[in-house]
Amino acid sequence: MTPAATDSPATPATGPGASADPLRTPQGRLLADTLATVRPPAPGERASRNHLTHQQLERLAEVLPPAQQLLHDGDWLAALSSCTVLADPALYMTVVNHHVLCLGSVVASADARQTRAADLARTVDELESGRRKGVFLVTEISDANSHLALRTTAEFDPETREFVLRTPDPGAAKFSSVGVPGRPQSAVVCARLTVGGTCHGVHPFLADLCDERGPAPGVAISGAFGMETLPLEYALVRFDGARLPYDRWLRGTARIDADGVFHDPHGGPGRALQRTLDVGRPLWATVPSAAAAIARASAVAALRHSQHRRSHGRLAPGAPVLAYSTQQRAVLGASAEAFALNCAARSALDLWQRSQDTRTDAEERGAAETAFSPWAAVDRRLSAFKALAVDGAARVAAECRRRCGVAGHLAVNRLSGYAGFAEAFGAAGGDNRLILLDLGRALADEDTDEGAHAAAPHPSDGTPPPADTDDPHWWPRTVSALERRLTTRLRAALDEGRHRQLDGMDLWNPLLERVRRLGEVHTLRLAADCVADAVTAAHGHDPAERALAALYGTTQALRQSGPLQWAGVLSKETAASLEAAADRQCAELAPYLDEIAARLAPPEKLAPTPLAAPDYAAALHSTLTWPDGGPS
């Protein structure tokens, strides 16, 4: 697999939404051209999706670099994420499972001797070529999304030096978008390693699930069942004595010696799950790019449709729907949030790329203690960007769908698929609500960089920031003040509870909604800082970008107006003025609508939609087949 000549970076675009645009890089253009050669699934077509997915994986493999390079190249991963999610959100989930989680686990955990082993090398080659589909099996259905109590076991057999995979009961069955047997598939299986009767924590194992003839020995795969929000072929997988060679243990530096004694120089069982899930870091670094891509596409489709769609109400018959202030606030507010998510996507990618070679053992140990989710323990900062991006994209896609009426729900117009992706991914790759809970807990209860930021004194005297909502830097100052106030109040509540000798559930349970809110506000502060950095970098030369930044801040302040007021950050007069500020900022954006749409829009060949066409009815007709050649 030799990638095309895409080593030299593209000249970055400028203007709204261009601070991070993987779709316009050489990698993005190459992938867009590649995906355009594979027929996408027709609306409602699911019977052949498994076959189509394999076909798409094989075509992508022809242009992607080898996994070892791909998984350390942020530009490639961001382009792959953005292009596949726009072409088909279900394909994106397949690519994440295949390239990032499955092959990523092999690259990260298998040492050089393992990858030279003939059996493993053959399987990895088939995965890289796309001839074999890879999945990641961590979730168990009994306590889905809780990975702290996985029960699938991998027992070491000292006589054969093999591992025996077992599912102890139906509740421990693995759940993923496996698809029905019929094409070769392998999975990275997260299982509890048992050696000589002692559990050594959760480790990854590479197991072959099935081939053209059916499931592998000791593997049972259920019939396919669906999920409306993300239409893939999901299945349950159980293991009953499936045997894996020693080299299928993706062990990293761990080993079992000739006497059957387990050795791991990097920590005990408590750290094993964290190391296994470390494969999620490149996912979190690049899912913001995917989320920003669908937010941008959704906002542009709704904006253009609102410009062309006519109103027939008595107030203004024949006027474009966008003439109404309610539609302006919704659609332009969605465009502003899509712009902000784009800024955050660039920051997440930069953060990951800077940290790849500088992450220390001390940082890993410092992140290891979490109360709610092991995913946040892997990299708290990147998990925050994941939650921010996916929740924001879900908000944007759902609002744009609502604002397009029944057209927004048609599969051919893509908004339902994008909204379904964002909704489903809120629970995938680390549940967003659990991530926010751990973020809030860390801010309130740990001596972290995030906590230091939140506890730092306000540059003025702690009074509410001036109410100049048209200043793009107003919202970053405001949300930072809110984060500090919420942190201080939560710490005080924790101190009071501990003074009353409370701990564990008795201490935290009454405060969980406050903890979650603090985690959410922390992610909003991250986004606000990213937007402010983008505006500052433009040196004030882009009035459209400044207006988008201001509208983003006002829109978020309206969402958070309750906490902003009761925390004493905004006066009731300032909060009451936000509605007028949003209308004023929408009016300021009016001259730039075509420019904003052009800069946020994805390539037409990746995400064609009738919604964006000047004549929606004609565009919709052109996508359909008609009996006898067409309507009369």
- Summarised one tens digit per residue, pLDDT across range 446-502 is 754 444 454 433 444 445 555 789 999 999 999 999 999 999 999 999 999 999 999
d(CA 486, CA 479): 10
Pick 312 or 528 by higher pLDDT: 528
379 within 8 A of 367, measured Cβ to Cβ:
yes
Q: What pLDDT score was predicted for residue 447? A: 58
Nearest in space to 165 (alpha carbons), one of 66, 446, 174 = 174
User: Does the structure show a pLDDT above 50 at 18?
Assistant: no
Which pLDDT score is estimated for 532? 96
Handedness of CA 597, 603, 605, 607 (dihedral sign): negative
* Burial class, 572, CB count within 10 angstroms (exposed 0-12 / middle 13-18 / buried 19+): exposed
- 3-class DSSP state for residue 241? strand
Closest by CA position to 93, among listed 226, 353, 287 = 287
Distances (CA, A) of 299 to 132, 296, 395, 559, 605: 36, 5, 11, 18, 17
**How confident is residue 112, by pLDDT bands cut at 50, 70 and 90?**
low
pLDDT for the residue numbered 110:
67
Distance CA 398, CA 333 (A): 13
Choose the weakest-confidence range: 231-245, 384-398, 505-519, 577-591: 231-245
Say if residue 51's pLDDT is above 90: no
Count CB-CB contacts under 10 A for residue 146: 15
pLDDT bucket at 348, cuts 50 / 70 / 90: very high
- Residue 142 contacts residue 154 (beta carbons within 8 Å): no
Mean pLDDT taken over the chain: 87
Which residue type does 455 have? A
Residue 25, token pair as written in the block? 């890089």
The band of 4, judged by pLDDT with boundaries at 50, 70 and 90, is: very low
Q: Are the CB atoms for 303 and 329 separated by under 8 Å? A: no
- 595 or 120: which leads in pLDDT: 595
Spatial CA neighbour of 140 closest among 148, 131, 132, 128: 148
Q: Residue 245: exposed, middle, or buried by beta-carbon count in 10 A (0-12, 13-18, 19+)? A: middle
Q: How many residues does the chain have?
A: 632
Would you say residue 438 has pLDDT above 70? yes
Token pair listed for 248: 């299928």
Angle between the N-to-C axes of helices 415-425 and 281-308, in degrees from 0 to 180, rounded to the nearest 10: 150
Q: Find out whether 514 and 468 touch, Cβ atoms under 8 Å.
A: no
Q: How many CA atoms lie within 13 A of 41 on its CB side?
A: 24
Q: Which helix (H) or strand (E) holds 214?
A: strand 214-215
Question: Over 50: is that where the pLDDT of 17 sits?
Answer: no
158-175 pLDDT, tens per residue?
999 999 999 999 999 999
Please give the Cα distance from 367 to 370 (Å, whole number). 7
Distances (CA, A) of 6 to 2, 43, 401: 11, 33, 36
CA–CA separation, 565 and 313 (whole Å): 37
**Other CB atoms within 10 Å distance of the CB of residue 409:** 13
Burial level of 489, CB count in 10 A (0-12/13-18/19+)? middle
Question: In 151-181, which positions are buried (b, 16+ CB within 10 angstroms) versus exposed (e)?
Answer: bbbbbbeeeeebbbbbbeeeebbbbbbbbeb
Please give the span between the terminal C-alpha atoms of the chain, in angstroms, as a whole number.
50
Helices (H), 281-414: 281-308, 325-355, 361-366, 374-378, 380-402
Widest Cα–Cα separation across the chain: 86
Instruction: Quote the CA–CA distance of 103 and 60 in Å, as a whole number.
Output: 14
CA angle 157, 160, 166 (to 5 degrees): 40
pLDDT of residue 129: 92
Q: What does the alpha-carbon distance between residue 345 and residue 350 come to, in Å, rounded to a whole number?
A: 9
Tens-digit pLDDT profile for residues 575-626: 999 999 999 999 999 999 999 999 999 988 888 999 999 999 999 998 887 7
Write the single-letter amino acid at 459: P
**Band (149; pLDDT cuts 50, 70, 90):** confident
